């Protein structure tokens, strides 16, 4: 977003002052209730101290040189690595919208950070630190203990330090802002794909959606299939190492959160190109399709893989000359990387079966407010 000129900012601030005066009556009512109270023996600050503040020295192996000052002051202080840009992203998770009320808090803590780290991965950035905006309906210590366990287990894996946040009372909502660094000029973007580039995805697609449909009661799965799909839904693996390895190799990249076709549409728009997806990797045996999906009908499989969300895999393009390098990387990292199509001139996204017939897909991807 472009920044506003100073005159506009002055007007905005003046408006804020008059709004504040107009609202003074309701403010007075608000003042009467203690703003900080989470209505529990454990107050806001004790809660932060107990579950989110970690004391220096304990986690020295993960100490992050960019973090000068962490939790406890009005601001965190970060120092930049020379020659690097900050990569910053926020993702919120709202109860009932992004997760079920009874989800295991350990998984929720993991996923809240994982979806943010996935954005850093998509840009090829190294995770450094994050902030946590936590809105809780009430203080539930066993929930907090599980949530912070899942959160920090993943944070420690990437040396990503919690440097601050906000804690308030209200419907359960978790907003994380993650910060990473990337050498100047090397960030992966959605906009760099060229005509003829190969289109790739990491991991397996459609599993999270399979798990969601099973949990919603729309689909019956064997206990093993359910366990697998639910784990993929609740505990996605951010592809941070892959994102770093793709720097200098991929012409464009993004992470898949809302479904392959819809997300690919964003990459195409940014790159000003079209794409052709071939379905042989969905229809036949491939490393991009888990055995649990292989067991489903062709239509089911196509719909889950092409439109199912919450995969948090990477979608990226590389020039054809990099094909062997990508396949070697896949072997070295033990991460499936599957070529799914090609970038073409124009603006359309076509899905073709083995006979070259166009495959029609009903729902493209998830969108809020639609
Ligand atoms: P302020 O009112 O000055 O914004 P707060 O009183 O809300 O600060 O928070 C006190 C300190 O605790 C700050 O350093 C803040 O970043 C940190 N903090 C608050 N909530 C969280 C949280 N959920 N996770 C991590 N740090 C938090
Ligand atoms: Mg303050």
DSSP string, 118-175: HHHHHHTPEEEEEEEEEEESS--HHHHHHHHHHHHHHHHHTTPEEEEEEEEESS-EEE
pLDDT of residue 37: 53
Phi, psi at residue 243, to the nearest 5°? -55, -45
Q: Which atom of ligand 1 is nearest to the CA of 72?
A: 14
Q: Tens of pLDDT along 74-133? A: 999 999 999 999 999 999 999 999 999 999 999 999 999 999 999 999 999 999 999 999
Q: How far is CA 36 from its chain centroid?
A: 30
Maximum pairwise Cα distance, the chain: 71
Q: Residue 18 is encoded by which pair of tokens?
A: 């008059």
Q: Which residue among 131, 164, 176 has the greatest number of ligand 1 atoms within 8 angstroms of its CB, and so is best to mutate?
A: 164
> 114: helix, coil or strand?
helix
Ligand 2 centroid to Cα of residue 74, in Å, is 4
Q: Which residue among 35, 47, 48, 129 has the greatest number of ligand 1 atoms within 8 angstroms of its CB, and so is best to mutate?
A: 48
Question: pLDDT class for 30, splitting at 50, 70, 90?
Answer: very low
19 lines ligand 1 (CB under 6 A): no
> Nearest residue CA, atom 21 of ligand 1?
165
**Alpha helix segments (H runs only) across 33-104:** 44-47
Average pLDDT estimate for 212-219: 96
Average pLDDT estimate for 256-270: 97
Triad 266, 200, 236: Cα angle to 5°:
80
> Nearest residue CA, atom 14 of ligand 1?
72
The whole-angstrom separation of Cα 323 and Cα 338 is 11
Ligand 2 centroid to Cα of residue 59, in Å, is 26
Which among 65, 70, 62 is positioned nearest to 82, based on CA atoms? 65
Residues of the chain with pLDDT > 70, as a percent, come to 84
Which among 204, 147, 155 is positioned nearest to 180, based on CA atoms? 155
pLDDT of residue 233: 98
């Amino acid at each position: 977003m472009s920044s506003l000129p100073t005159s506009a900012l002055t007007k905005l601030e003046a408006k804020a002052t008059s709004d504040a005066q107009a609202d003074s009556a309701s403010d007075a009512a608000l003042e009467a209730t203690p703003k900080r109270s989470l209505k529990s023996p454990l107050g806001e600050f004790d809660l932060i101290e107990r579950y989110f503040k970690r004391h220096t020295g304990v986690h020295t192996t993960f100490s992050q040189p960019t973090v000068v000052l962490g939790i406890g002051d009005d601001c965190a202080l970060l120092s930049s690595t020379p020659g690097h840009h900050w990569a910053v992203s926020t993702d919120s998770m709202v109860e009932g919208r992004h997760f079920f009320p009874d989800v295991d808090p350990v998984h929720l803590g993991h996923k809240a950070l994982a979806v943010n780290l996935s954005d850093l991965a998509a840009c090829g950035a190294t995770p450094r630190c994050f902030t946590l905006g936590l809105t809780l309906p009430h203080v539930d210590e066993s929930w907090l203990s599980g949530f912070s366990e899942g959160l920090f287990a993943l944070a420690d894996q990437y040396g990503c330090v919690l440097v601050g946040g906000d804690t308030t009372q209200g419907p359960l909502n978790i907003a994380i802002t993650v910060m990473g660094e990337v050498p100047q000029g090397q960030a992966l973007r959605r906009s760099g794909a060229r005509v003829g580039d190969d289109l790739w995805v990491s991991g397996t697609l459609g599993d999270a959606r399979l798990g969601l449909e099973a949990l919603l009661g729309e689909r019956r799965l064997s206990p093993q299939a359910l366990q697998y799909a639910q784990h993929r839904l609740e505990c996605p693996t951010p592809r941070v190492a892959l994102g770093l390895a793709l720097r200098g190799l991929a012409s464009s990249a993004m992470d898949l959160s809302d479904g392959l076709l819809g997300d690919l549409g964003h990459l195409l728009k940014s790159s000003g190109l079209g794409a052709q997806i071939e379905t042989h990797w969905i229809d036949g045996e491939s490393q991009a399709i888990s055995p649990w999906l292989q067991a489903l009908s062709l239509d089911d499989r196509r719909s889950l893989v092409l439109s199912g969300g919450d995969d948090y895999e990477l979608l990226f393009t590389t020039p054809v000359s990099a094909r062997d390098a990508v396949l070697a990387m896949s072997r070295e990292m033990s991460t499936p990387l599957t070529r799914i199509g090609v970038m073409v001139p124009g603006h359309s996204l076509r899905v073709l079966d083995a006979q070259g017939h166009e495959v029609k897909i009903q729902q493209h991807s998830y969108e809020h407010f639609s």
